[in-house]
């Protein structure tokens, strides 16, 4: 089982394309992310469920033997010790479908990513204001 070859338009459509046992895991994953990031928007990005908050927050996807969770490299690094119990790579972790999802770990990673995205957005906004102020000052000279 790979991700759906036809890109779904919604997370609901994505989830319903899988067998019931996988659907249940995907819904639990979705609700865990939603609870940890209530202001995030659900979208399909790269053909998979994505939560977006001032940028991509996390993605997840179903495969034959695992649920892939993609919190960016920073989300993996920040929880390196806890993630080490699972197969992982630079920006992804695989949760086996024959074991319960580590909901506490998922929640902690999502909350970390929310904080990270909001801080990054704040820095960008401050830089934008400084640049705008400089431009208006140079125009008035």
CATH of residue 89: 3.90.1150.200
pTM: 0.85
**24 is a domain residue:** yes
Beta bridge partner(s), residue 94: 68, 87
Q: Give the chain's largest Cα–Cα span.
A: 68
Question: Residue 1: pLDDT above 50?
Answer: no
**62 is a domain residue:** yes
Measured CA to CA, the distance from residue 61 to residue 72 in angstroms comes to 14
| Mean pLDDT of the 22-27 span | 98
Instruction: Residue 121: give the domain boundaries.
Output: 11-139
**95 is a domain residue:** yes
Beta bridge partner(s), residue 41: 52
**2 is a domain residue:** no
> pLDDT digits over 82-129, tens only?
999 999 999 999 999 999 999 999 999 999 999 999 999 999 887 776
**94 is a domain residue:** yes
Measured CA to CA, the distance from residue 61 to residue 94 in angstroms comes to 10
């Amino acid at each position: 089982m790979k991700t759906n070859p036809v890109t779904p338009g919604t997370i609901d459509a994505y989830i319903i394309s899988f067998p019931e046992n996988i659907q249940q895991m995907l819904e639990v994953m979705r609700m865990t992310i939603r609870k940890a990031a209530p202001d995030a928007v659900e979208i399909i990005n790269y053909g998979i469920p994505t939560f977006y908050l001032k940028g991509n927050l996390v993605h997840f996807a179903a495969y034959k033997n695992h649920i892939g969770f993609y919190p960016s490299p920073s989300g993996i690094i920040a929880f390196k010790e806890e993630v080490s119990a699972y197969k992982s790579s630079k920006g992804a972790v695989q949760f086996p479908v024959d074991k319960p999802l580590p909901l506490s770990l998922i929640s902690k990673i999502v909350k970390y990513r929310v904080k990270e995205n909001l801080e990054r957005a704040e820095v960008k906004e401050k830089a934008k204001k400084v640049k705008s102020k400089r431009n208006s000052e140079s125009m008035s000279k």
